[in-house]
Amino acid sequence: MSERSEIQFGMTRIPFLIRRSSKRATVALTIDDEKLVVTAPADTTIDRLNAVVRHKAPWVVQRIRDAAELPPPVSEREFVTGETVRYLGRQHRLKVVEADDDWPRIKGGWYHVPVAPGLDEHQQRVEVRRRLLGSLKEHADLYLPDRLAEVCRRLRIDKPSIIVREQRRRWGSCDPTGTLRINWRIVQAPIPLIEYVLVHELAHIEHRDHGPAFWSQVGSWLPDYEERRRRLRLLGPSLEW
């Protein structure tokens, strides 16, 4: 059974889920699907966790409100000619072409996706999605490490390891070794939003939670991060398919 607690902050009740780990040395607070999750060392008392959440309550309330303002997901794509495909913020039109032994490519404002001739409507849409996904993932594998290197060069910090992968409900993460894991789908977004995600995860190398020190670090590297973060919240649902 999951361990839980809650605190009262003014007129607001803040319930939270507790996850314990023998590998953690500090308490970390995260917002997951508009809910507060507290990750803590195994021997941390409930009273201590309640005190931490109470101290961070203004931040928690604001982050939950921000999460609640996310727009609803866009309607399901059909993967047919004429639909919009984004790459680095640019909007290309999808063009489905019946052809053997070819690979998707961007040309003249169109994202050409070849499929085998003779497929029925459902099979063709499944194949278009599969090939488009593979093409964008390949672009991300090449682009994101280079962009991370450029960001680190500007910040005058060492470039950490990066893994480009599928991640649900998040754009990136940073593990305890300092390795960044970045959702390949962010390659659809404009470059300033890609850089926000990279800077966000770079700040997690030193600051594991989203406390004031973390946001201060992000702000020192990216003074307009709040606007970029807002834009990503608005655009994000259209990049998930």
State the Cα–Cα distance between residues 18 and 15, nearest whole angstrom.
10
Does the structure show a pLDDT above 60 at 73? no
Domain that holds residue 17: 3-68
| Statement: the pTM of the whole predicted model exceeds 0.85 | no
Segment 183-197 mean pLDDT: 96
**105 part of a folded domain:** no
**132 part of a folded domain:** no
CB proximity list for 147: less than 8 A, separation 6 or greater: 191, 194, 195, 198
**49 part of a folded domain:** yes
Q: Among 46, 68, 90, which residue terminates a domain?
A: 68
What pLDDT, on the 0 to 100 scale, is given for residue 71? 54
pLDDT digits (tens, 9 = 90+) for 134-188: 999 999 999 999 999 999 999 999 999 999 998 877 899 998 899 999 999 999 9
Between residues 35 and 120, which one has the greater pLDDT? 120
What pLDDT, on the 0 to 100 scale, is given for residue 209? 86
Does the structure show a pLDDT above 70 at 33? no
